[in-house]
A and B are shown apart, each in its own frame.
Chain A
Amino acid sequence: MPVRVVDNSAPSQVSGANSGNTSPPACSLLRVGQAFSGTQNVSNLQKEEAWRVNVRIQGCDLEHGYLCGTMEALNVPMADTPVSVIFFSQQQLNCVYPFHPILSESPCKLISHLIVFNDVQVVTFWEGEIVDTKNYTFYTGKWEAAPEDDIRHWTKFQSFSPLLNQVEVDGGKSLDLSNYHHIFMRWKEQYFVNVGTDCGLTIAGFYYVCFSCSDGSINGFYYDPNSSPFQKLELKCTNEGRSGFSFSSYELQ
């Protein structure tokens, strides 16, 4: 049974728990401006389905274990725009469209409600916690994620296996990840960028993320107790039509 870093009520953010350099390696593929593209699998028993997803890193502060960016879902079904008319059971909707607000807010409506869909692009802004064992540990301590949920998700990543034992002992607090080839993170969507909060979608959950320093690929699992489990996010870093990686930067004072 895993044990929390501090106590059961404490969040995973720790201060001064570790001295010395245990920060994850600075990686030129995980930098401001870098784009990633791929899919999020939202399949259920009835239907195989994946949404196209683009991600761009907008801010990075390794010292504080902070990362942020935008996530663009390209073919998100939205309600109330008449393209096709489909009847769904509540259970089906639960599985296929875990973000749908009507589902969580007023499920009764669904039974007799005609849901109409149109594919649209939805952009969200997310903030990331980098598991560096200094600012953040493997235990989330919030967002309705219990240590068991954390372990269940982290162990989905093969590169986590060598760390499991130590994480179960102390949340990974004593691990030095500064030369580890993978960077573990949690990404939490904070708000919608291009649509209003009444857009009919929800961003209640968060992603467990594993980034490969070698090739810049990202794997993730979406977690929301009210959504279908283990929706897989798979992204590869892109050079957007160029023959190599190009760089851009900004600076705030």
Chain B
Amino acid sequence: MPTTTGTGTSTTGILHRLASDDQDVKLKALRELKNQIIGNRTKKLSFLKLGAVPAVAAIPSRRPAVLGSFACGFDAGVQAVLEAGAFPNLSRLLSNLDDKVVGAGARSLKMIYQSKFAPNIITHSCKTSLEQKILFDAGVLKKLTSLLKGSLSQRDASLESLATIFKNNPEVVLKFVGPDSGRALGSIIELVKDRFIRTRLLASSCLIVIRNTSPCYLQDVGIKAKLINTLLELLDDPGQIGEEASFAFSSLITQKEDMQKLAFELNAIDKLYNHLQRVHYILDGLKEYCWHWLTCAQSWNVAGLDFCRCRYGVARMCQVLNLVIDALAHESADVRTAACICLRSVSRSIKNLSAGYFMNETVVIPLVQLLNDPSTSVQLDYVSQILLLLLVLLATLVVDLTTRRSTFIRCGGVKQLVQLSKSMDATIRLNALWALRNLMFLAENKCKEGVFSELTAPLLASLICDPESFVQEQALALVCNLIDGCIDSVEYMFAEDGVIFDAVGRQLQSASKAEIGIQGMYVLSNVATGKEFHKEAVINQLLPHADNGTQSCAFIRSVKLRDAGIVSQMKEMVNDPCLDVKLRVRTALKQFTTVEDGSI
């Protein structure tokens, strides 16, 4: 049995025995070490200097308590523990089966999280809401808040960590902005105007996370305006700050109408435009930049209306568009994708579409070319991404309310869309159909003829019965538009032995979703507004077992519907809570009465 030597209790002796192969010697040395350093800064420092922490960290068990002791109230100790790479091991101990080990590990981690090194650790160790909560419960917020008054690096790291803890965790945000911590929030707001640009960016980002996590906070217009102005200023930074500011700005305004309006009032469009332009000129060397700026511009989501009212109005919009249109042909897939996103956002306005800004050859030709010739040099998922964006964009653009849709058809756009509607990828089929559906909205007969001859009745029928319900729905909406308008267009339904009409009937019988049923009914409704033959076909579709005599007139159809119980069902709807239903039912019942009275 080994015994301690005279020098065994000295600092070096303990270290020596920590390296022993004998586990008992090792554990005994560990206990002695722990006893010596608890509450004794001098001893801690002494052991640290001699490299005790790596030695302790290398011992598989019982070390957490000792490491915790090193870390307790002693930043140099924390640093040593972290440098020894003990942090991940300590975290892993939290799932140890032995409660004592878990407890010791947790205490050690607590020491670390309460140190000035906490921010850096938190930023990288807080990925789930559970982790956020654990850190919050461990009192990390208090420490981080106190570090906001520390050195520049501590301040920045704390801001970053706070953002990490707040992200998507309303519970933590609620506790932070609550009455007890109101001052801490004030500190962050103050840091938005700090003299260091990185601190300004981090403070802004932290507030954005709070806003995005819990939209009810930070509603003060002054704070909102301060955030927008700060980020717009930071965009001027030519380095990483500018780049990160564009993402932060994007995150601040995306899908937030109030922020978009305010940003517009603060002249953000002009500022963004200036950046877009500058970046465009130096595009080749700064592809990534362009992506960021364009992304930023797209999240602006100006939706046209506000855009047109900006100081430079339409002229400015055309300038921006020209830049973006050029970017459609850029060699970088990122830039092309971003240009598509951007165009899609600004075109998402009936007012702009109606003015015909988009459906001209300058825009349409590069788009159709992109559809036709996705670069093979880029990865498949990029191609797919661009393709989807293009289809979404086209779906928006083709609603052009003037008669310029022919430009798109002339450029071969319909051919491409029809090809894509046969894609193996259901999402591409969906988007292709969506674009065709929008193209058909209030389209002229010639346009419809062109689309139908490319699409063909059998293909349309098969798309109505597509395996994916969202494709079915879009196909039915397309048919609805196809047969709306001129009464002769109802005939498309009965082309090729009525394959489309039969497909619609089948879907109505077996609709998996209410939306399919609704779209199917709209199609039948459009058919029923056609000629006698069309009305009769609808009745036969709805009531296949009714007596289909040779006669066909409004009276007989009315009787069939009454016999099928439709009229009594409608009578039950005369007091429907929905005003529209009530009014339409009344109109329909009046029509039944008129017909059966022989008035028409």
Contact A247 B526 (CB under 8 A): yes
Q: Which of B401, B481, B578 contacts A248 (CB 8 A)?
A: B481
In the docked arrangement, what's the CA distance between A150 and B487, Å?
42
B484 interface residue (CB < 8 Å to A): yes
Q: Which residue of A lies closest to B474 (CB)?
A: A251
In the docked arrangement, what's the CA distance between A26 and B582, Å?
12
Distance in Å: Cβ of A46 to nearest Cβ of chain B? 36
Q: What A residues does B344 contact at CB under 8 A?
A: 253
Residues 381-414 of chain B, each 1 if its beta carbon lies under 8 Å from chain A, else 0: 0000000000010011001011000000000000
Distance in Å: Cβ of A224 to nearest Cβ of chain B? 20
B530 interface residue (CB < 8 Å to A): yes
Given contacts A213-B583, A242-B530, A252-B396, contact A247 B351 (CB under 8 A): no
Contact B354 A193 (CB under 8 A): yes
Given contacts A28-B584, A241-B487, contact A33 B441 (CB under 8 A): yes
Q: Which of A198-253 contact B (CB under 8 A)?
A: 213-214, 239-253
Residues 105-136 of chain A, each 1 if its beta carbon lies under 8 Å from chain B, else 0: 00000000000000000000101000000000
In the docked arrangement, what's the CA distance between A179 and B578, Å?
8
B438 interface residue (CB < 8 Å to A): yes
Contact A250 B399 (CB under 8 A): yes
B477 interface residue (CB < 8 Å to A): yes
B442 interface residue (CB < 8 Å to A): yes
Contact A247 B350 (CB under 8 A): no
A76 interface residue (CB < 8 Å to B): no
Residues 140-166 of chain A, each 1 if its beta carbon lies under 8 Å from chain B, else 0: 000000000000000000000000000
Contact A26 B580 (CB under 8 A): yes
Contact A249 B441 (CB under 8 A): yes
Q: What A residues does B351 contact at CB under 8 A?
A: 68, 125, 127, 190
Distance in Å: Cβ of B519 to nearest Cβ of chain A? 9
In the docked arrangement, what's the CA distance between A214 and B437, Å?
30
B374 interface residue (CB < 8 Å to A): no
B417 interface residue (CB < 8 Å to A): no
Q: Which of B354, B356, B480 contacts A58 (CB 8 A)?
A: B354
A10 interface residue (CB < 8 Å to B): no
Q: Which of B553-600 contact A (CB under 8 A)?
A: 578-580, 583-584
Q: What B residues does A246 contact at CB under 8 A?
A: 483-485, 525-526, 529
Given contacts A242-B487, A251-B395, contact A25 B580 (CB under 8 A): yes
Q: Classify chain B's interface size.
A: 35 or more
Q: Which residue of B lies closest to A127 (CB)?
A: B351
Residues 471-505 of chain B, each 1 if its beta carbon lies under 8 Å from chain A, else 0: 00000010011011111000000000000000000
In the docked arrangement, what's the CA distance between A173 and B480, Å?
39
B434 interface residue (CB < 8 Å to A): yes
Distance in Å: Cβ of B339 to nearest Cβ of chain A? 17
In the docked arrangement, what's the CA distance between A214 and B580, Å?
8
User: Which of B350, B440, B485, B522 has the most chain A CB within a 10 Å cutoff?
Assistant: B350
Residues 56-88 of chain A, each 1 if its beta carbon lies under 8 Å from chain B, else 0: 101100000000101000000000000000000
Contact B395 A253 (CB under 8 A): yes
In the docked arrangement, what's the CA distance between A250 and B392, Å?
12
- The main secondary structure of chain B at its interface with chain A is helix
Given contacts A248-B441, A249-B477, contact A27 B348 (CB under 8 A): no
B528 interface residue (CB < 8 Å to A): yes
Distance in Å: Cβ of B587 to nearest Cβ of chain A? 8
Given contacts A213-B583, A247-B480, contact A193 B402 (CB under 8 A): yes
Q: What B residues does A56 contact at CB under 8 A?
A: 442
Contact B355 A193 (CB under 8 A): yes
Q: What A residues does B583 contact at CB under 8 A?
A: 27, 181, 213-214
Q: Which residue of A lies closest to B527 (CB)?
A: A246
Contact A250 B438 (CB under 8 A): yes
A51 interface residue (CB < 8 Å to B): no
Contact B485 A240 (CB under 8 A): yes
Q: Which of A25, A247, A253 contacts B525 (CB 8 A)?
A: A247
Q: What B residues does A250 contact at CB under 8 A?
A: 399, 437-438, 441, 481
In the docked arrangement, what's the CA distance between A59 and B396, Å?
13
In the docked arrangement, what's the CA distance between A241 and B529, Å?
9
In the docked arrangement, what's the CA distance between A240 and B437, Å?
21
Q: What B residues does A248 contact at CB under 8 A?
A: 440-442, 480-481, 484-485, 526
Given contacts A242-B487, A244-B528, contact A59 B350 (CB under 8 A): yes
In the docked arrangement, what's the CA distance between A104 and B119, Å?
67
In the docked arrangement, what's the CA distance between A58 and B522, Å?
18
Given contacts A70-B354, A252-B348, contact A242 B529 (CB under 8 A): yes
Q: What B residues does A179 contact at CB under 8 A?
A: 579
Q: Which of B434, B483, B535 contacts A251 (CB 8 A)?
A: B434
In the docked arrangement, what's the CA distance between A59 and B583, Å?
23
Q: Which of B356, B399, B434, B529 contacts A245 (CB 8 A)?
A: B529
Q: What B residues does A181 contact at CB under 8 A?
A: 579, 583
Distance in Å: Cβ of B52 to nearest Cβ of chain A? 62
In the docked arrangement, what's the CA distance between A226 and B399, Å?
36
Distance in Å: Cβ of A113 to nearest Cβ of chain B? 31
Distance in Å: Cβ of A190 to nearest Cβ of chain B? 7
Distance in Å: Cβ of B3 to nearest Cβ of chain A? 80
Distance in Å: Cβ of B391 to nearest Cβ of chain A? 10
In the docked arrangement, what's the CA distance between A127 and B535, Å?
36
Distance in Å: Cβ of A61 to nearest Cβ of chain B? 9
Contact A125 B579 (CB under 8 A): no
Distance in Å: Cβ of A182 to nearest Cβ of chain B? 11
Q: Which of A4-25 contact B (CB under 8 A)?
A: 25
Contact B392 A58 (CB under 8 A): no
Q: Which residue of A lies closest to B397 (CB)?
A: A252
Given contacts A193-B402, A214-B583, A248-B441, contact A68 B350 (CB under 8 A): yes
User: Which of A125, A244, A247, A250 has the most chain B CB within a 10 Å cutoff?
Assistant: A250
Q: Which of B440, B477, B579 contacts A213 (CB 8 A)?
A: B579
In the docked arrangement, what's the CA distance between A244 and B579, Å?
20
Q: What A residues does B396 contact at CB under 8 A?
A: 252-253
Residues 261-295 of chain B, each 1 if its beta carbon lies under 8 Å from chain A, else 0: 00000000000000000000000000000000000
Distance in Å: Cβ of B397 to nearest Cβ of chain A? 10
Q: Which of A86-104 contact B (CB under 8 A)?
A: none
Q: Which residue of A lies closest to B586 (CB)?
A: A214
Q: Which of A27, A239, A241, A252 contacts B580 (CB 8 A)?
A: A27
Contact B477 A244 (CB under 8 A): no
In the docked arrangement, what's the CA distance between A239 and B486, Å?
10
Q: Show 23 residue pairs from A and B whose CB-CB distance is below 8 angstroms, ordered by the A residue.
A: A25-B580, A28-B580, A33-B484, A58-B354, A68-B354, A70-B354, A125-B351, A125-B354, A127-B351, A191-B355, A193-B356, A213-B579, A213-B583, A242-B529, A243-B529, A246-B484, A247-B484, A247-B526, A249-B480, A250-B399, A251-B434, A252-B350, A253-B348
5 extra A-B contacts, CB within 8 A, seeds A25-B578, A68-B354, A125-B354: A25-B580, A181-B579, A240-B485, A249-B437, A251-B437
Report, nearest first, the 5 A-B pairs whose CB atoms are least far apart: A244-B529, A248-B484, A59-B350, A242-B529, A250-B441
